[in-house]
Amino acid sequence: MSQMLQVSVPLFLVYLALTGNADPANLVVGALVAVGISLLRPKMNLPLLNLKRLPQFLWAGIRYLFVVAGDVIRGGISTARIVLDPNLPLNPGIIAIPSGTRSELGTALSAHSISLSPGEMVVAIDDEGVMYTHCLNVDDSEKMVADAQNLRKNLLSRMFE
Partner 1 sequence: METILQILALFLIALGTLLSLIGVIGFIRMPDVYTRLHATGKVSVFGLVFLLLAASILTPLTIWKALLLIFFVLAASPTVSHAISSAAYRAGIPIVGKRDDLKGKMEVGKEKDG
Partner 2 sequence: MQDFLLTLPLLLLGAGTLTALVFSRSGWTASRLGWLLSLFPLTSFLLVLYAFSLVPSGKALTFSLPWIPALGLDFSLYLDGLSALFALLITGIGTLVVIYAGQYFGDDASAWRFHAYTLLFMLAMLGLVLAGDLITLFLFWEGTSISSFLLIAYKFKDEAARKGAFKSLFITGGGGIAMLAGFLFVISITGGADFKTVLASGGVLRASPLYPVLFTLIAFGAFTKSAQFPAHIWLPEAMTAPTPASAFLHSATMVKAGVYLLARLNPALGQTDLWFWTLSIVGLTTMLVGAYLGFKQNDLKPLLAYSTISQLGVLVALIGQDTEIAFKALVISILAHALYKSALFMSAGIIDHETGTRDIRKLGGLRKQMPVMFGIMGVAALSMAGLPPLFGFLAKETLLASATHPSLPPIVDSLFPLTTVIAGALLLAQAGLAIWGVFLGKPADEKHPPHGHDPNFAFWLAPAVPALLSLLIGLTPVEPQFLVHFLADAAKAAYGDKVKISLALWTGINVPLILSLVAVTLGSLVFWQRGRIRPWMMNFLPNLTANALFDGTMSGVDWLSRTATRLQGGRLRVYIRIMLLSAMALVVLFNGMPAGVSIPALNWNIEGLNGLRMFSLVMLTASAVVSTVLRRDLYAVIALGITGLGVAVWMALEPSPDVALVQLMVDILSTVILILSLSLIPRRLRDRANELLHSRRGMLRDALLAGLAGLVVAGLAFTALNTRPRESVVSPFYAENAKPLTGAKDIVGAIVVDFRGADTLMEILVFSLAGLGIYTLLHYATRKTGEHPHEEPERQLKPNSPRGIFNLPTSPMLHTLAYIMLPLAFMLGITHMMYGHDQPGDGFTAGVIISLAIAQWYMLFGYYETRRKLAWLNRNNMIVAGLTLAALNALGGAVFGGGFFSPVDYGEMLNLPLPPGFYLTNSFLFEVSIALSVMGAATLILDNLGHPREEDIEAEADLAALEEKS
User: Using the rule CB under 8 A, which residue among 34, 136, 145, 156 binds partner 1?
Assistant: 136
User: Quick one: CA dihedral 92, 95, 100, 101, positive or negative?
Assistant: positive
The conformation of residue 63, written as its DSSP 8-state character, comes to H
User: Judged by CB under 8 A, does residue 76 bind partner 1?
Assistant: yes
User: Judged by CB under 8 A, does residue 30 bind partner 1?
Assistant: no
Least separation in angstroms between residue 67's CB and partner 1 is 15
Rounded-to-integer distance, Cα 1 and Cα 43, Å: 12
User: Judged by CB under 8 A, does residue 3 bind partner 2?
Assistant: no
1: partner contacted, choices partner 2, partner 1, none (Cβ within 5-8 A by kind): none
User: Using the rule CB under 8 A, which residue among 28, 54, 94, 146 binds partner 1?
Assistant: 94
Tell me if 146 sits within 8 A of 101, measured CB to CB: no
Tell me if 138 sits within 8 A of 92, measured CB to CB: yes
Rounded-to-integer distance, Cα 71 and Cα 90, Å: 19
Contact residues toward partner 2 (CB under 8 A) are: 7, 11, 14-15, 18-19, 21, 23, 25-26, 28-29, 33-34, 37-38, 40-44, 104-105, 107-109, 111-112, 115, 122-128, 130, 132
